[in-house]
Amino acid sequence: MSSPTASLAVPDATRPEVRAFLSGSPQLFIDGEMVDPISGKTIPVLDPATGRVIATAAAAGIEDVDRAVSAARRAMEWGAPWRRMTAPDRGRIIERFARLVEAHSEEIADLEVLDGGKVRRAALSVDIPLAIRHLEYFAGWSGKIEGNTIPVSIPDTMVRTEREPVGVVAQIVPWNYPLLMSIWKIAPALAAGCAIILKPAENTPLTGLRLGQLAFEAGLPKGVLNVLTGYGAEAGEALVDHPGVDKVAFTGSTEVGKRIAARAASQVKRVTLELGGKSPNIVFADSPVEVSAKGASDAIFFNAGQACAAGSRLYIEKGVFDDVISQMSEIAQSLAIGHGMERSTQLGPLISQRQHERVRGYIDGALDMGATAVTGGSARPASANPEGYFVAPTILTNVNDSFAAVREEIFGPVVVAQPFENLEEIAQRANNSPYGLAAGIWTKDITRANRLANMLQAGTVYINMYGATDAAAPFGGYKQSGYGRDMGHANLESYLETKTIWTNLA
């Protein structure tokens, strides 16, 4: 990052070890060590809560991508330590990795706050525990990857299958959950025995670099996990196009995901995509108002609405519409907005000036078309740093499906709310979207809830809850929300090849 430390706009509460990390030279993590980028290019890393530079990261170029892919391919060669390692030993390394993340949780939380705008207490209570759980879960899978013996119709013939790692994997992760999304990708790939080049988002490069160091400290051989910070248009595209990369795993926007799929298709390269969403959250009149209002608020305002599965389209049964909106408005106005390092903060900034302008544009566009901002709006919250990228939690009513704010992913603390009258109507309206990532249902009628869940075109449906994840439960979407799954056994499968072996016993 950038030197000297005194020139960086780092909050006083930042830990000494984090300050030292931020003030280091801008480097990449390749083949088990921090190295200078061949490109010679750098990226300024900003604190979204202040708009000020806190570090400088390396911007990998094509030659840096070549170097990282070469290191990963060496790690996958026959006879290399990673290929010789037993599956239980792989699991033990992943478990040690989990323990190191746990031991460095305070440091990692600081990094998550500083370059991602996280609320620190949320990072410590949600992101980091879930990351640790994910590593623990896939550590257990390492020794349970099995093939089959298959009875065939040919006499004196034995047929068996073996499961092998898919090879070198490029993992491109977004800025909204830098730690968690990285671990979601890294853990199953390591369990399967793959080698990895991780490319964090250019806005949030810090956590990924620290994870590379900790993984190596846990015992990963050189070249197994490499971390390239850089821009998507250069380092990301070079990884997708590189013939030495066997699979691309991407989480991010649908627009970028489509481009990645098209580029990878020319080499018939494996791809998994976890993309955008415009998820419906449906409240029936029999759900207690205080419960559904709290759940709907958490579904859109957590992480400042910067979540692909955020409950951004809110549908409320007509009879309780005003009551739910009133309680949500009270919740929104009560949220303390500020820097994530502050103990009182409940809602942090958006990631960048560009995203700030984008979200404000959606709000203003809806208001121009006749929407009502029950609370919030496009003005910067008076209580927050005027240089930070803050947007107040916003509830828009008097909207319809012609509004861009209703159709398109905003990725901010903005919910569009509309009334509905019956189950069949709401199922059709909820499905009227190019996305199909998640959905929520709030009702005491469990029969109705499950009937509606079966009707919804969504990869995850929450009933009387929203946004929960677990390492064992697959997560991904329908339609333009992507294909493939993160988490669970389904995710492990995407990092494995099946080899069929025939033996003539005669």
- Which residues are identified as catalytic? 274, 308
* Nearest residue to 192 (alpha-carbon basis) of 142, 132, 226: 142
Rounded distance, CA 467 to CA 461, Å? 9
Residue 28 in contact with residue 229, Cβ under 8 Å? yes
Phi, psi of 139 (to 5 degrees): -60, -40
Q: Which residue's entry shows tokens 């066997």?
A: 246
Rounded distance, CA 36 to CA 21, Å? 15
| Residues in the chain, total | 506
Strand order in the sheet with 168-172: 33-35, 28-30, 225-227, 195-199, 168-172, 247-251, 270-274, 482-483
Rounded distance, CA 138 to CA 316, Å? 39
* Dihedral angle over CA of 135, 136, 137, 140, nearest 10: 120
CB crowding 135-162: b at 16 or more within 10 Å, else e: bbbbbebbeebeeeeeeeeeeeeeeeee
Rounded distance, CA 188 to CA 134, Å? 9
- Which CA distances in Å does 72 have to 68, 69, 82? 6, 5, 10
Rounded distance, CA 23 to CA 220, Å? 26
